[in-house]
Amino acid sequence: MSEKTKARVVDILLLAMIIVPFVLAIALKVVNKPVEEGISITGAMVYLTIPMPLQDMYITESQVNSAAVIIALLGLCLYLTHGIAVVPNSKRQVVAEWIVEKVNGLVSDNMGKRFMGFAPFVAAILGLSAFSSLSSMLGLFPPTSDMNIVAGWAILVFILITHYKLKGGVWPYIKGFFEPIPVFMPFNVIGEFATPVSMSFRHYGNVLSGVVIATLVAHALQAVSKMLFGWLPGILGSFPFLRIGIPAVLSIYFDIFSGCMQAFIFAMLTMLYIATGAPAED
């Protein structure tokens, strides 16, 4: 087998690594989704319950979809960087270098040169959040509309923020809670722990509200369409004419624009909190 053929086989396998996780997630949802009538807005389905000594562990739809997004992102990264050369010789390498340059510029502008090591972490947050929200366009339950998923990201960011604050010393960190005067200590403590709460609720609330609004509008358009065109004979009377086009316009905002915007905001807050919490350079 020639080197060119081997490269093509690897490319096909990497493309399958991007597509197959979403196909399996869709199939799993179709198999487990119960038949519903009317409007139904629920949380993530529970696919599997594993008995545990203290509390049962649930494998939910959001966990499965989140894993599918992670695997697909890994496949995308491997595909973009497969066959990379010193001098770009393919369009995907140009795309990969463009992504790296933009993320490096974003980190440099918002955190400073000494935080350039955070570029891969910021890129991971942007990609994971954006693709998780965009998965709703495939009919999947977006992991970003599950509070448990987003709260996990926020807690990880909070640990990083606290780690860099403690680099300036334990006593200065504790002393900061009593500034500018000791009476503000309770408010400073609340403000410290409000960081992950506000980050998670902001991201979760915006994505979930988009899902709820889009679902309500789609069912309302179906009802109005039946009311206006129900007199037509046969299948035409039950065809939801008004659901053609309008939900797609809403999807452009709620699924694409809002989802990508929330990913950008979450990444920006992550960079700003870590950069401002770290001690100043000597």
Please count the other Cβ atoms lying within 10 Å of the Cβ belonging to residue 224. 14
Instruction: Give the predicted TM-score (pTM) of the model.
Output: 0.81
Task: Give pLDDT, residue 282.
Answer: 46
- Average pLDDT by stretches of 10, the chain with 282 residues: 80 90 88 63 77 85 91 92 82 90 91 87 91 84 86 88 82 80 83 84 79 75 74 66 66 76 88 78 51
Rounded Cα–Cα distance for residues 259 and 136 (Å): 10
CB 207 within 8 A of CB 259: yes
User: How many Å apart are CA 133 and CA 259, to the nearest integer?
Assistant: 5
Whether the CB-CB separation of 247 and 218 falls below 8 Å is answered with yes
Q: Where are the domains of the chain?
A: 3-277
What is the β-pairing status of strands 46-50 and 57-60? Answer: antiparallel
pLDDT digit string, tens, across residues 125-138: 999 999 998 888 88
